Amino acid sequence: MTEPLQPFDWKSSNYERPANTWVCGRLCEEGLPCHLGPSSKGDCQVQSRCEPEEKGGKYQCSRSILHGGKCKAGPAPDGTCCQPDSSCQPRRSLLARRRLLGGIAAFIAASLCLIIFGGASPSALLSPGAVTASHAKIESNCTACHTAAEGGLGTWIHIAFNDETALKDSGLCLKCHTELGNEALFAHGVSLKRLAEITKRIQTKDEPVSTPIALQLASLTGPPATKDQLSCSTCHREHHGRKADLTHLTDLQCQTCHTRQFEDFQHGHPALGDYPYNRRSRIYFDHDAHLNRYFVKDEFKRTMPAGVKPDSCDSCHTPDTSGRFMLTGSFKNTCASCHEPQIEDLEFPGVPFFALPAISPQIMKSQGTWPNTTGTFKTARLPQLMELLLEQDPLYQNAIKQLGTVDYRKLNGVDPDQYAAVAEIAWSIKRLLYDISTDGESVLQQRLGNSHPEYLHLNPSLIPTLSQAQQIWFPNLATEIKLHREKKPIPATAANVSKTQTVQIPRDAGNGWTLSESDFTIRYRPLGHADPLLKGWLDQVVRSQTQALDRDPMWRILSNPTASGTEDTQGALASGRCLMCHSVDQNPETGLSRINWLPLPASQTTEGFTQFSHAPHLSMGQYEKCAGCHAFEPSRPDNSAILQQDYFARDPANLFWQINVDGQQTCTSGFQPVSHQTCVTCHNKTTETQSCLQCHKYHAHKRMEKP
């Protein structure tokens, strides 16, 4: 049995004070501590240990038992302690060392913080991580995104307690991201008013929905207030690395502000309604008739391109470069083989623009040349443009007044006392022709400028043909006019001379204008699809006076289903009647209408909450192409009629078409709306392609329309 190391009694065991700051250095070095120990300030006290007691001139050791009792040797004769100087350098106790280390750690941390933050502006050391690649260029410039970076520590403390900071910083984002519009910071980038409208519309819907539990619970913590502006960082969180996805949001996050919350696309998503047929297509195209009749029955086969019927939708529709939209094939490639001949309408003589009424020579006696002397005029009135041009002629108006109701078919049958008036009509026409052939376009401007600008600037111009007509029909018109103005009689011979010369001059200018010598009429016969004159004229007409369109005689001619040309000729289907296919849309805000000559322009989309891209869907081979989503309505006899109503309607007299200018109405074009279920067959939980952001965009603000 070895002796235990430590005695416990008070004489031989030291008084341990672990809370003290200093311990005897000799304890640590040699294991021989002095009982006194260091002072609280870390000084060795060994020198003050012993004060020998003086007793009658002799010194006696006065060391207490606690310190080992009186020493044998006793003090030196001079009263100093005999013990050698055994002072030491006290050491810090464990506790004190830990305290010191704590102090050092705190000091280092504080100074490090001050170095990093202390400058006038923050250093890059402060950056919590790399920004995404798109922002990498401005990464080094903290002030580009942070208002706090403009100042030092003081500024931050101030800013840290400021609620507006996030919005201010978002303002900095918008300095670059101008494409987000003026209301970018409001929810969905639409105005509060518009948002309220949408919300109200959704709230009035009464579909049963089951809000996911997570969202119900989350609503307890309170989603961001959508009435206020939201900072960009609500959704876009930067400094998470170069490759971080700034736009990632989960479905639940998307829905957190929404009035109507549901589990996922598969379960609870609102029905798609008439999507995507919430407006009619740009051209009136009866898919039903085409696909179920024309492309099926053999009788139409001969007119198909190369005699082959189109067998799938992509014969006409191909995705655009972005893959988003399906483009409709050009007229030439798709419609032309069947419809080009119709539009050319070879039997259609053309729209009369200028005609010489038949006036018997006896009326025109000594009134100069008048080529049209025999037969009867075919219409009761003069062509539209002629009437308009003569409207400004007071003499003509006078003559009409004298004649009362004028029927040009019966012009020769008037009473002889009215002959002068008829002659005056002839002279008016001649004057008009003369004016135009001498002054050209300016005459039109002068005569039509105020009332009917749509007839100005017809292209190709009518004027060369009119000049030609003047040369043929009234070769001596200048003289005649001169004499007539001088009230001098006109010699009759002059007319006969000129007759011989006319033969050499071509009657058809090849630009649509024809000059018919048989009935002394100048007509315009459309050249085919996209005829420039009609297009220009229609654009102008539609733009300003859509409502009055049906009263326009020219429009009546063009839109008359029974005639292609004048009333009495049996016309083919649609020559020149552009608006049979091309729809007219009225802008509800401006009231102006425009003709959709071209299919939907990609840049023209407005509020875009939803975006659908066709290309990826088409590449999914296993799905039955377009028909998988765009299924026909079950065939009904009145399908075509229903579709037609969306574009135009018969006037009550069943004579011509009234244009329906409301483009925004639902029109399914004979298809069934795309059903939600159809989408779900692919977009469901298993394929994990049903996130909100798959189809929807947060920034739904109106895009700037590209010129």
Partner 1 sequence: MRNLLFQQRIAITTFAILSLMIVAGCYLFSITLSKTSFATGTVLLISIFILASYQLRKKLSILLIGNTSAWLQFHIFLGLLTSVVFLLHMKMQIPDGLFEFLLFLNYLTVFFSGVIGWLLSRRIPHRLLSRGEEVIFERIPLHRRKIHDKVKSLVLESNASGKGAIPDFYDEHLRTFFEGPRNQLRHILHSERHRHELSQKITALQPYLNSQEQAVLQQISEQIQLKDDLDYQYIFQAIIKLWPFVHVPLTYSLIIFAVYHTLAVCAFASTSG
Partner 2 sequence: MTDEMVESLLKAPPFSKIDPSGFKRSLPLRDILKNDVRIVGFDEGDIIVRRGDWGNSAFFILSGNMRVELEKKQTSLPDEILGRRTSRVKTFWESLTQLWNNNSEPEVREIASVSSSKATFHSRNTHGGTRIYLQEVSAVLDKYRTARLEPGQWFGEVAALGRTSRVATVFSEGVSQLLEIRWQGIRDILRHDKEGSLKQYIEDVFRERALSAFLRTDPLFQACQPELMQRIVEQVEFHTFGNYDSHKPFKQLLEDQNQKTDGREPVIIREGDYPSGIVMIRSGLARISQRHYNGRRTIGYLSPGQIFGLDEIQAEVKSLTPVACQTQLSAIGHLNAVLVPTTLVEEILAQNSSSKSSGSQKTKKSIRSTGSQSVKLKDDILLSQLVDRHFVQGTSLMVIDLDRCTRCDDCVRACATTHDNNPRFIRHGPILNQYMIPNSCLHCVDPICMIECPTGAIFRDLAQGDIIINEQTCIGCAQCASNCPFDAIRMVDIRDAKGALIVDSQTHAPLTQATKCDLCIDQRGGPACERACPHDALFRVDMHDATKVEGAFAS
Positions in the binding site for partner 2 (CB under 8 A): 6, 8-10, 13, 15-20, 36, 39-40, 48, 51-53, 62-67, 95
Decide whether 18 or 84 has the Cβ nearer to partner 1: 18
Element containing residue 515 per DSSP (H, E): strand 513-516
Q: 12 or 500, CB closer to partner 1? A: 12
Q: What is the DSSP letter of 283?
A: B
- 252 lies in the site for partner 1, by CB under 8 A: yes
To partner 1, the closest distance from the beta carbon of 37 in angstroms equals 11
Q: For the CB of residue 255, give the shortest distance to partner 1 in the complex, in Å.
A: 8
DSSP annotation of 706: P
| Residues sharing a CB contact under 8 Å with residue 303, sequence separation 6 or more, in sequence order | 337, 338, 341
Q: CB-wise, 103 or 491, nearer to partner 1?
A: 103
SS3 484: helix
d(CA 659, CA 655): 13
Q: How many Å apart are CA 346 and CA 450, to the nearest integer?
A: 35
CB of 184 to partner 2, least distance (A): 57
> Rounded to the nearest whole angstrom, what is the least distance from the CB of residue 110 to partner 2 in the complex?
23
Q: Which does 469 bind (CB under 5 to 8 A by kind): partner 2, partner 1, none?
A: none
Two tokens, residue 547: 């409502």
> Which three-class secondary structure state does DSSP give residue 11?
coil
Helix ranges (DSSP H) in 547-699: 553-559, 614-619, 639-645, 676-682, 692-695
- End-to-end CA, the chain: 106
Burial of 172 (0-12, 13-18, 19+ CB in 10 A): middle
Per-residue contact track with partner 1, 54 to 93, x per CB under 8 A? Answer: ---------------------------------------x
Closer by beta carbon to partner 1, 145 or else 481: 145
CB nearer to partner 2: give 52 or 526. Answer: 52
Instruction: Give me the residue label for tokens 């075509």.
Output: 640
Minimum CB distance to partner 1 smaller for 29 or for 53: 29
Comparing CA positions, the residue from 144, 86, 153 lying closest to residue 115 is 153
Residue numbers 203-242 binding partner 1 by CB under 8 A: 214-215, 217-224, 231-241
Q: Closest approach of Cβ 10 to partner 2, in Å?
A: 5
Please select the residue that binds partner 1; options are 36, 71, 82, 130, rule is CB under 8 A.
Answer: 130
Min separation Cβ 125 and partner 1, Å: 5
Nearer to partner 1, 102 or 404 (CB): 102
CB of 269 to partner 1, least distance (A): 18
Residues 6-65 that bind partner 1 (CB under 8 A): 6, 14, 16, 18, 23, 27-33
Q: What angle do CA 111, 113, 116 make, to 5 degrees?
A: 110
- Quick one: which of 382, 542, 526, 525 has its CA closest to 454? 542
Binding flag, residue 533, partner 1 (CB under 8 A): no
The rounded Cα 595 to chain-centroid distance in angstroms is 20
Look at residues 49, 55, 52, 19 and name the one whose alpha carbon lies nearest to residue 33: 49
Q: Which is nearer to partner 2, 38 or 319 (CB)?
A: 38
> Does 128 participate in binding partner 1 (rule CB under 8 A)?
yes
Instruction: Specify the residue, 66 or 704, whose C-beta has the smaller distance to partner 2.
Output: 66
Alpha-carbon torsion 672, 676, 680, 683, what sign?
Answer: positive
15 versus 161: smaller Cβ distance to partner 2: 15
Measured CA to CA, the distance from residue 699 to residue 622 in angstroms comes to 33
125 contact, one of partner 2, partner 1, none, CB 5-8 Å limit per kind:
partner 1
Taking the complex as a whole, the smallest distance from the CB of residue 97 to partner 2 amounts, in Å, to 14
Q: Taking CB within 5 to 8 Å according to partner kind, which of partner 2, partner 1, none is near residue 33? A: partner 1
Give me the least distance between CB of 76 and partner 1, in Å please. 27
Which residue in 680, 700, 704 sits closest to 263, CA to CA? 680
Q: How many residues bind partner 1 (CB under 8 A)?
A: 81
Number of other CB atoms surrounding residue 674 within 10 Å: 20
Min. distance of Cβ 140 from partner 1 in angstroms? Answer: 14
